[in-house]
Every structure is written in structure tokens, then in C-alpha cells.
Amino acid sequence: MRLFDTHAHFDAFEAEGSVAAVLARAAAAGVERTCAVGSSADSNELVARLARENPAALVAAVGYDRDQVGQPRDLDRLAELARDPAVVAVGEIGLDYYYSAETAPAQRALFGQMLEFAAARRLPVVVHSRYADDDTVEMLGEFAAAWKKTASGPHGLARRSDIDPHGLAPWVNQGGVGALANPPSCSPPEQGGGGPIRPPGILHCFTGDAAFAEELLALGFFVSFSGIVSFNNAGALREVARRVPEDRLLIETDCPYLTPKPFRGKVNEPAFVARVAEVLAEARGTSAAAIAEATFANAERVFQLEGRR
């Protein structure tokens, strides 16, 4: 069983000198790859370096997150990092109005800057959203439109006439919960000698409702679930996870936070993404191996890793 932890923070592991041990435990648990995620100048440098040093186990995402509002930002250095083959996405970026609603305008300005940065480089985005669903959807809608336009650029990617790069049918409501009726394949089309249109990004650590998931899927985004899905009070979230199409589903730890049950009280780490796969398998009536296989393939697609080893 191959697992892909699509979102992990390594700052604390680096500080305590445990990165090698954490990666060894991940490998023993079947975690073949992990995306090490930055969010600030220092963490961006860290994850890019770790991904270069551990190319078989790690890829990296770099960006300036909402807590960097008011902090110095070196976009030239970020551009240098984004050119590194080990860097596969721009993130973590996004909006959080739960703790910092007073900075909402500045957060939106920074988020918009990061979305423009990603679109210009054809890199998918790794997005955080908390208590900001409407603004997140509005801004990701603009990004998805820009992503569609750049898909016809010099890289030879196919063009589609609609904003959804995979042609997903709309969700229908069943018992008040969003669901897809006979969800179609998410395999993108080919055009001439060009490659497929790539997914625009990920809404990481999803904790929203079915309506929010509907809007994200309509824009072509993938939805990633963390250890929160295992919590006792997460029944509604597990129901949303049950109904996300298999070819849009991802798993993550968001470590060192959000340790899944039954490991609460321990520091979270990539090895525990196996438990997230088990919980999703229980919710969806399938096997953990099937979840691992599907989410691994999805992660390789969104991070443009097919064929890279």
C-alpha cells in the first residue's frame, strides 16, 4: 500500500533534529511521498532544502500564508525557489477569518498576490480556508479562470471551454447532503501533441460543508482530508468525505497538528496519514488500500509528478 501525505509541516521536526526519524517511520508505514509545505520565508527555504535532500520521499510547496501579512516578503527569492524541480506547488496560502478577521483585507491582497504568482508559473496552489468560504471561492474562481487561460500557453496544454477542467457534472442534493450522481471520470482530455489540463490545486484540511465542497469541485479543485475526519464530532465531515468523487480525493496529516484518533496526545507525523486513509475507507465503504491507491494517483496528478521518481 502506497500512501501520499499531501500536507506536512517540518519546522518542529527540523528544530528537534528528528526529520530523518520521522521520514523513516513514514516509510515503514507505507508513506512513499510527502509534500513538505512552507508558509514563510524561513519555512520555504526549509522545505525546498529538505525536498532536494530527500528526492525519493519529499516534494515541496512554497508560498506566503495569511499570517505573513505585514511581514517582509521576498518575491524574487520565492520565484527562485519555485523554479526548483523539487517545488511542485505554491502554498500554503489562503484566508483565515477565525482568529484574524481584522486583517481580512490584507489577507485577501496577499492571497491574490500568491494566486497570481502561481498562475504565472503554472503551479497548482495549496489553499487554507477557515471562516472565509465566500471569499475563498470568489478568489479561486478568478484563479481557475486564469489557470484555464494559461493552459493554452507555450507548454502545449489543452484548452477547455468551461471553467471546470475535468467536466464534472453538478452535485445534486440527497437528504440535504451534496453528492455526485454517477460522477464521471476525472481524466483530462488530450489535444494534439499537448498534455492534459492539470488540476488548479487543493483545498487542504477540508472542514467545510457540502455546499463549499460543491463549489470547489466545480472549479476543478481537489479536496484533502486530515486527521480531523477521525474526531468524534466529525460525523458531518465524514459524510462530505464519503461523497467527494474518488478522483478528487486527497489525504494529509497537516502535521505536527491534528493527530488522528486513536493517537491523540501524540505529535502528529506523516506516518499517521495511514489512519486518515482507514477512516475514509470506513466512511466510504471501501478498503484502506483502495483509498491509498486512489489518493496517491490523485496527488501525483495534482502535483504533476506522473513518471517522476
Average pLDDT over residues 170-175: 28
CA distance to 39, 49, 169, per residue, from 64 (Å): 5, 17, 33
Pull the grid cell for residue 163: 471553467
pLDDT in the model for residue 306:
85
> Is 127 within a domain?
yes
> Is 33 within a domain?
yes
pLDDT single digits (tens) 59-90: 999 999 999 999 999 999 999 999 999 999 99
| Enclosing domain of residue 53 | 3-302
Check: CB of residue 36 under 8 Å from CB of residue 303. no
Check: CB of residue 4 under 8 Å from CB of residue 31. yes
Q: Is the per-residue pLDDT at 146 higher than 50?
A: yes
> Is 308 within a domain?
no
CATH number of the domain enclosing 288? 3.20.20.140
Contacts of 76 (CB under 8 A, 6+ apart): none
Residue 120 identity (one-letter amino acid): A
User: Residue 251: beta bridge partners?
Assistant: 225
How many domains would you assign to the chain?
1
Contacts of 226 (CB under 8 A, 6+ apart): 7, 204, 205, 206, 251, 252, 253, 254, 258, 260, 276
> Is 226 within a domain?
yes
Q: Is the per-residue pLDDT at 144 higher than 80?
A: yes
> Is 235 within a domain?
yes
> Is 295 within a domain?
yes
> Is 307 within a domain?
no
Hey, what's the torsion of the CAs at 101, 107, 108, 110, to 10 degrees? 180
> Is 53 within a domain?
yes
pLDDT single digits (tens) 229-274: 999 999 999 999 999 999 999 999 999 999 999 999 999 999 999 9
pLDDT in the model for residue 194:
46
Which segment of 35-39, 170-174, 199-203, 251-255 scores lowest on mean pLDDT?
Answer: 170-174
Q: Is the per-residue pLDDT at 107 higher than 90?
A: yes
